Amino acid sequence: MTTDLRPKSVPPEATFDADANLWRDGGPNDSRERLWIHPSGLLLLDATRKDGKLDGEIKWSLGIHQMSEHAPRVALQEALGLPKGPTNTMIATFADGALVQVCFRPGFDFPDTLRVELRDGVIDGAVEWVVGPVQGALFEHAGATLLPKVFKIPKPWPHRVMAVFAKGKLKSTTYFAKDGTTLDVSKTALTAWGEAAEASTLTGYIERGDFAADAARFFPKAPRVSKPGSEKVRAVPSGRALDEVVMGGGVPSMTLAFDFDSYGFDCKKEELYGAADDKYVGIASDGSGEMFLLDVTTGAVVRYAHEEGSVAPAFTSLDHLAFALLRVEAAAKKMIPKAKLSALFKRLGLTMADTLLKEY
């Protein structure tokens, strides 16, 4: 490789590795190792070591110019013991081979997207995250995994969340707006939420107006869902009353566990995998692809699992579904004691509701 083809950002002491299509200065046995990708000259790795172990500030930015380079560079990242996060660029701090902090960024000169502090191989200390869509884990390193759902991000999403962990356990969470102001997302505990309800009173829960009244009382400040009506829903018991509540904006946007954005979903027309049947119509979903579908031939509600494309019995009626979902959402927001709600669900025979409560 002639010096004429050396990128301007690559220093003269670096040599070209034609097999890896990289420029190298130093190696794993040296106190400092630097790698640049060719032909752009972008920095791939800048690592310092002490006694053969990573030590100090380590820079990594996974860049490729052709797909054949991707797999070996991902393998190099793993071999180095670097974590995975929401971006391909990171500045990781090691102490005697142990990761103590990592900052993920869109680029080296950009602000952090995610910052994680660790101790003894677990998340310990501050975690800061600029909230955004994530597929899978937010952070992974060795045996430590951080899933975004642990933060219970409210909707609308805050700009940033700051959390404190101790030995891998979440201890506190604070949400911030884009201008840096702290957001108050505290919830008021409900004193009357139907703890004394009897199974016989669930029938007619929607038609009596109890569903709409509870929704307004439980979540008075939440945005409302407004969807077009569904003739299919209106054809079953309690369906007409539910349809009117939905069309009238009486259903709150339940942001943690469930929402009614899938209300009226035409399973056959949309060719829903495993449930493309005219008898099914969408009522609610949990945001991850799991849906509650009304079987218009029986009036019962089934739970649809999107990965398997399968349905399973969930609730015997729309009344049972409406009663349960409101309270599971409220419990997820710490407005209702989970233990007491679980006891109520068991007493009422709402097995699926109790299962959902454990998921949130």
Parallel, antiparallel, or unpaired for β 224-225 and 251-252? Answer: antiparallel
The answer on pLDDT for 342 being more than 70 is: yes
The answer on pLDDT for 2 being more than 80 is: no
pLDDT of residue 187: 63
Phi, psi of 343 (to 5 degrees): -60, -40
pLDDT of residue 45: 98
Cα-based distances in Å from 189 to 44, 192, 217, 331, 345: 51, 9, 11, 9, 19
pLDDT of residue 359: 86
Phi, psi of 341 (to 5 degrees): -65, -40
Q: If pLDDT is split at 50, 70 and 90, which confidence band does 222 have?
A: confident
The answer on pLDDT for 288 being more than 60 is: yes
pLDDT of residue 287: 59
Question: How far, in Å, CA of 218 to CA of 324, rounded?
Answer: 13
Q: Give the chain's domains with CATH numbers.
A: 3-183 (no CATH), 199-359 (3.40.1580)
Which range among 21-25, 31-35, 256-260, 268-272 shows the weakest confidence by mean pLDDT? Answer: 256-260
Stretch 308-333: mean pLDDT, rounded? 95
**Which two structure tokens, joined as six digits, stand for 359?**
């998921």
Stretch 266-280: mean pLDDT, rounded? 96
The answer on pLDDT for 126 being more than 90 is: yes
The answer on pLDDT for 328 being more than 80 is: yes
The answer on pLDDT for 276 being more than 70 is: yes
pLDDT of residue 156: 77
Q: Which residues contact 232 (CB under 8 A, 6 or more apart)?
A: 239, 264, 281, 294, 296
Question: Between 351-359 and 338-348, two packed helices, what is the crossing angle to 10 degrees?
Answer: 160
The answer on pLDDT for 233 being more than 80 is: yes
Question: How far, in Å, CA of 219 to CA of 11, rounded?
Answer: 61
Q: If pLDDT is split at 50, 70 and 90, which confidence band does 239 have?
A: very high
Model pLDDT for residues 181-212, shown as the tens digit of each residue: 888 776 678 889 999 999 999 999 999 999 99
Model pLDDT for residues 145-164, shown as the tens digit of each residue: 999 999 988 877 899 999 99
Closest CA to 340 of 176, 159, 195, 185: 195
The answer on pLDDT for 261 being more than 90 is: no
Question: Between 318-332 and 239-247, two packed helices, what is the crossing angle to 10 degrees?
Answer: 40
Q: Is-above-0.85 flag for pTM?
A: no
**Which two structure tokens, joined as six digits, stand for 10?**
């690559």
Q: Is 125 exposed, middle or buried (0-12, 13-18, 19+ CB in 10 A)?
A: middle
pLDDT of residue 186: 66
**Which two structure tokens, joined as six digits, stand for 259?**
């929402």
Phi, psi of 323 (to 5 degrees): -60, -45
Closest CA to 241 of 278, 270, 204: 204
Q: If pLDDT is split at 50, 70 and 90, which confidence band does 355 have?
A: very high
pLDDT of residue 122: 97
Closest CA to 178 of 201, 199, 202, 157: 157
Task: For the chain, give the mean pLDDT.
Answer: 93
Model pLDDT for residues 67-124, shown as the tens digit of each residue: 999 999 999 999 999 999 999 999 999 999 999 999 999 999 999 999 999 999 999 9
**148 in Cβ contact with 140 (< 8 Å):** no
Q: If pLDDT is split at 50, 70 and 90, which confidence band does 257 have?
A: confident
Please say whether the dihedral angle defined by the alpha carbons of residues 55, 61, 65 and 69, taken in this order, is positive or negative: positive
